[in-house]
Structure 1
Amino acid sequence: MKTLISTGLAFLCLVSHSTAADFGPALTPEKKLIAFATSLHAASPAYLRQHVADMERRLPLDGLIICVYPDHWEADASTRKKARGSGLKTGQEGMFFGGRPFTRDDFRQDVRDLKATSFRKFTDNFLLLTTSEQGSQWTGNEAHRNLDWFDPNWSTIAENGAVAAQIARESGFKGLFIDAEQYAGSRGLWRRPFDYRARPDRGERTLSEVSLQVRKRGREWMQAVAAVYPEISIILYPNTGWKSTLEYELLGPFADGLLEGLGAQATLVDSGVGYHLQTYQQFMDLREKTQKQGLEKTQVPNLYKQVKQGFGLWLDYESRIGGTFAGWNTDPKNYHKNYRPPEELGNTLHNALSVSDRYVWLFVWHGAAWLAPGTRNVKSCPLCPHPQGVFQHAYADAIANRHQPHPLDWNPARREKILTPEDLIAIGKNILDNAGLETWRVPNRSPPGWVLGGQGPVVARDEKNTRTGGTYSAKLSTLLARGHVFLDQRLAATPYVGRTITLGAWVKDEYRNGHVQILDFVGNNHESSSVTSEWTNDTGWRFLTATKTIRLDASVIVFRLGVGAVKGVPVRFDSSMAVVVE
């Protein structure tokens, strides 16, 4: 949206207005909200059997995503694991997509617990299956790792899928949530099953040949699952293969195979990862992109039209240690410091459910503390523990009222006022050093004045993608599958305490995962900016701003150009500026 405002302080107003005519209709009960309950396996089948009544009373949800483990889990531990005395199930051990065969009887205890659990409100539950086999870390058996798509024993994985489907059906669950993220903890030659370029035989097998084989395996797996549970629902994460990422270029063929094996009654749902999304239009845009790009890439377009749209939201977004919004605030007077204050969460949930075909799912960083309080003592964020509970009544009410009418034209207050580069230039002097990112001593090292940080951070000088006619931009990426990466510039806070500063920068980010941020530090304690805006003139670049009043006792200010990076998908920054607005 190309919007101009008068310069000055008017943009700091945080009030949003909606009329009754702007409200969308109430949502039907068919729109379901479910949540991951796999964190540290706190909400295990045994825990659910004992505590489901309390959970349904506390949690305004329609269902959970959980894990099951074989009865002989502890006995299967490797010698090294036994020596360490580790018996903790993390909820992240993939087992069903490796070379280890299972039967339904391997899970007798979990099935017994689930069948004895009196679910009333939690009507739409799912089992989690991860395609990155990490259970082999527990057993220490190399044969339990991921198998090559061409392995003659691959039928084991399809048969394991049928076992999981049988457990889901017996337990009254709606289906399976397939997590196809390629986690770093997996081992073996085939630990990145959807990354063609990670294959050790890529010089011998073409991408086309491997794609056909992956599609065949997807079809075989789905046929085995549907034979046991014909009306099953499958939610596929991170997507159904429509995104343009090299590390997941085999996910599309796998999804095509699932569609071919689906049968007449089963359903495939695109997980619609929108962890940071908020507005109705953002969800509509993601839905349209899923459909358009999916139809362009699939080899089975008539079947792809059957794909249903879901959405995934990160409830306590980036509240983790080192996150963009590090520290989850449970004091009502500090709710505004969270990425999703209660009112904004309520609007966001309504928007996501309005656009979804049925499911919206929640990822919760404080999952164990929220779903199964007291079961694990974990410091999930800098402000943990939260003795009064992770989500107070205001959050529970916002979630509970998600079906009620909400304004579909709502925008979060922190993003309501738009600032352009011209606005900032008119306001005052740029206080950043090397603000234009034009000076570089070494092409693949931090530019002077800036410090690179984060998880697997990589920075490079880019002369091919610039925004304002300059020579260079800064290209940020990560060596990891995903990680938070940033360029920081630090200034002494003394000249600016009590004053309001706005940081702005151009960003080119395919997945809208770039951000700018101001942090001020009092000792080791930091507080981050919460007022942001976005402006674009439709060139593929966005101009992002962040505004913060520097605390009176602050000693250091950090200006951050950051990205929630995905390996192989760089984000570019250009022409930054920081100005004192009052």
Structure 2
Amino acid sequence: MNCNRIVILIIAAFCISFSTAHAEKKLIYVGIDKPDVNSLPQIVEQMEQTPFDGWTFGIRSKNAHLSLLDGRPRKFDFTWGSWSNRVFTHDEIQSSIDSFKNTKFKKFTDNFVYLCVTPGDIDWFDSYDAVLNNVGLAALIAKEGGLKGVFFDPEEYETPLWNYQKQRDVKTKSFDEYAAQVRKRGAEVMQAFQNAYPEITILLAFGHSANYWYETTDNRGNNFPKCSSDPNKLHYADYGLLSPFLNGMVEAAGPKVKIVDGWENAYFFLRAKEFANGRAAVREKVLPFVSDKGKYSKVYQCGFGIWLDANWLDGKNRDDYPADGRKEYPGWNNKDFSRNYFQPEEIEMSLKNAFKYSDEYVWLYVERLFYYGSIKNVPDEYIDAICRAKKSIKD
């Protein structure tokens, strides 16, 4: 065998190896079923019978009983209370680290700490010492607990954190001033993450894609259409300041960090073209929002989120339908699948397309469905469909 042929074969083998490794796709659970981490060692065997490669876990401190939401104890006070002046301590979250260490995961390879930007009741120009402390602890839980990283949800559940027009000092500080400060905070947050966990994966519920996806109108009535990326759109968009924040994160990211745009806007996607357009958006269309395009292309990935029980509430009052494992909701039925947004064969198609066009991660979101335990209420037909979709990426 001549030398040239040997070299070609070696290069080909390397390319095949790299391609296979890069193409490995993961399905992550995100949703209502966030068990108390302290109970994990007892329930992990049941959880790993579900068709997922990993789970997102809410974190509660040992003082969670002191944290109230609308006068009621907040179960996952660390997950929902870290973006504030409340300083959590290592001692308060040590039990979560210990529980992860004591859990013998056999199947779940990619688990994440769930972290929100709530309550978000501080201004970008206030001290961020508490927030940076807390996000560092989130990364520490993931690192010491053997998790893949942090599922970072930037949704404005309580405070319009990302809307420039609703910032405290909007009358005295320009958009550019706020954008520069938010970009700085993004870099600081990334540094706090990677100081604790240098090879961390940050799986975003959504990123620049939110600003690209939604229509926005300025204060003169001028329209920035859906699926557009004019940088001026950020001045008025609900998530306009998220883009400079992500720019700061990307710029500060170390060589081992991975950031994934989870493209929550794909919740209702079904067809290949929709996912192809989503991938093109993350890879190309959002670039006018991006400051360091070269760094972005190296650390940023495309993922997708699919909502299994989409529209389960069907416009009714959420408080009337608690997450209690019931088998029927206004927009979801365990027997009459025609009442559900996705039929089993459609969720299979959606997931197959999501896997095809994602770089690595797809996450399946639910609000009222449970996959295991005494209140399991996901029909077997849907679980089988999910399993078939997963099998397709290995065939």
Q: TM-score, normalised by structure 2?
A: 0.79
1:310 aligns with 2:313: no
Q: How many residues align?
A: 337
Q: 1:201-350 counterparts in 2 under 5 A?
A: 201-240=169-208, 242-243=211-212, 245=216, 246-273=237-264, 274-306=266-298, 307-322=300-315, 326-331=330-335, 334-350=336-352
1:158 aligns with 2:158: no
Matched to 1:149, the amino acid is W
What secondary structure does 1:403 align onto? helix
Gaps of 5+ in 2: 1-19, 217-236, 317-328
Question: What is the Cα-based RMSD across aligned positions, in Å?
Answer: 2.4
- The residue number in structure 2 matching 1:178 is 152
Q: Which one has a larger percent helix, Structure 1 or Structure 2?
A: 2
Closer, same or farther in 2 for the Cα pair 1:373/1:328, shift >3 Å?
farther
1:394 aligns with 2:381: yes
Offset at residue 114 of structure 1 (A): 1.8
Contact 1:34-1:124 within 8 A present in 2 as well: yes
Matched to 1:157, the amino acid is V
What secondary structure does 2:378 align onto? coil
Offset at residue 291 of structure 1 (A): 2.3
What secondary structure does 1:94 align onto? helix
Q: For residues 238 and 106 of structure 2, what CA distance do their matches in structure 1 show? A: 41
1:351 aligns with 2:344: no
Contact 1:346-1:401 within 8 A present in 2 as well: yes
- The residue number in structure 2 matching 1:528 is none
Q: Which has the higher contact order (CA 8 A, sep 6+)?
A: 2
Contact 1:194-1:247 within 8 A present in 2 as well: yes
- The residue number in structure 2 matching 1:462 is none
Offset at residue 150 of structure 1 (A): 1.1
Offset at residue 240 of structure 1 (A): 2.8
The match for 1:48 among 40, 44, 52 is 40
Closer, same or farther in 2 for the Cα pair 1:206/1:114, shift >3 Å?
same
- The residue number in structure 1 matching 2:90 is 104
What secondary structure does 2:273 align onto? helix
Offset at residue 122 of structure 1 (A): 1.4
What secondary structure does 1:305 align onto? helix
Contact 2:140-2:196 within 8 A present in 1 as well: yes
Closer, same or farther in 2 for the Cα pair 1:205/1:121, shift >3 Å?
same
Q: Which one has a larger percent strand, Structure 1 or Structure 2?
A: 1
Gaps of 5+ in 1: 1-25, 134-144, 375-388, 407-582
Q: For residues 185 and 76 of structure 2, what CA distance do their matches in structure 1 show? A: 28
Q: TM-score, normalised by structure 1?
A: 0.55
Matched to 1:111, the amino acid is I
Matched to 1:158, the amino acid is L
What secondary structure does 1:65 align onto? strand
Offset at residue 92 of structure 1 (A): 9.4
Offset at residue 255 of structure 1 (A): 0.4
Matched to 1:297, the amino acid is F
Matched to 1:67, the amino acid is G
Q: Encode CA deviations 1:224-277: one digit per residue, 9 max, x unaligned.
A: 211110110001223236425511110000000110111100011001120100
Offset at residue 161 of structure 1 (A): 1.1
Q: For residues 138 and 53 of structure 2, what CA distance do their matches in structure 1 show? A: 21
Q: For residues 341 and 217 of structure 1, what CA distance do their matches in structure 2 show? A: 43
Q: Which has the larger radius of gyration?
A: 1
Closer, same or farther in 2 for the Cα pair 1:299/1:28, shift >3 Å?
closer
Q: For residues 79 and 257 of structure 2, what CA distance do their matches in structure 1 show? A: 26
The match for 2:52 among 50, 54, 61 is 61
1:127 aligns with 2:118: no
Q: For residues 327 and 91 of structure 1, what CA distance do their matches in structure 2 show? A: 30
What secondary structure does 1:304 align onto? helix
Contact 2:29-2:363 within 8 A present in 1 as well: yes
Matched to 1:366, the amino acid is R
Closer, same or farther in 2 for the Cα pair 1:91/1:335, shift >3 Å?
farther
Contact 1:27-1:403 within 8 A present in 2 as well: no
- The residue number in structure 1 matching 2:371 is 370
The match for 2:124 among 149, 162, 172 is 149
Q: Encode CA deviations 1:47-68: one digit per residue, 9 max, x unaligned.
A: 32211101212x1111111111
Q: What percent of counterpart residues are identical?
A: 32
What secondary structure does 1:127 align onto? strand
Contact 1:132-1:193 within 8 A present in 2 as well: no
